[in-house]
Amino acid sequence: MKPQVSIIMGSTSDLPVMERAAQLLDDMGVPFEMHALSAHRTPAAVEDFARNAASRGIKVIIAGAGMAAALPGVIAAQTTIPVIGVPIKGSALDGVDAVLSILQMPPGIPVATVAINGALNAAILAVQMLALSDEPLAEKLQSYKSSLTKKIEKANAELAAVQYTHKTN
């Protein structure tokens, strides 16, 4: 089976965050691949990956990196495939360095940046993109979203049971 999504991370130290993206794709039945590539430590391999991703059938790239996180932007500079960037928290600057590095792309080279450590949302966004042209996947996404609604309905019912003297509901 050919991968549709490529999950790239700057180091295996990013894996505890990035595996949330992998799990969501797995749950949705989306074929994906995972690689460690670094804009600073393996620049030639990043170029090779980015330039060949489209011809290999990759539809969305999720790239996570921490610190001076150049990886998502460098990939985006060399492909027309949408790139979703995940800033990883882990440095002395708590991920603010990574979020600014990934977010502040120059005009013409967008990276869709999610929250610090937001790998789950990166995967959901990737699935939303794929679901535009994949009806069965759109249905799975719809039931995922419905499960979120049910979660908050349950929370609301639990809150209704909490008693205070001046609470009116």
- Using CB under 6 A as the criterion, which residues of the chain lie in contact with ligand RP5 when the complex forms? 10-11, 13-14, 38, 65-67, 88, 90
Position closest to ligand RP5 via CB:
10
Contact indicator for 112, 83 with CB cutoff of 8 Å:
yes
Question: What burial class does residue 6 get, using C-beta atoms within 10 Å of its C-beta: 0-12 exposed, 13-18 middle, 19+ buried?
Answer: buried
- 100 versus 138: smaller Cβ distance to ligand RP5: 100
- 18 versus 28: smaller Cβ distance to ligand RP5: 18
Nearest-angstrom CA–CA distance, 71 and 37: 8
Q: Least distance from C-beta 37 to ligand RP5, angstroms?
A: 10
Q: Least distance from C-beta 66 to ligand RP5, angstroms?
A: 3
Task: Label residues 63-97 b or e (16+ Cβ within 10 Å = b).
Answer: bbbbbebbbbbbbbbbbebbbbbbbbbbeeeebeb
- 9 versus 126: smaller Cβ distance to ligand RP5: 9
- 11 versus 128: smaller Cβ distance to ligand RP5: 11
Contact indicator for 71, 63 with CB cutoff of 8 Å:
yes
Q: Least distance from C-beta 86 to ligand RP5, angstroms?
A: 10
Q: Least distance from C-beta 116 to ligand RP5, angstroms?
A: 11
3-state DSSP call for residue 130? helix
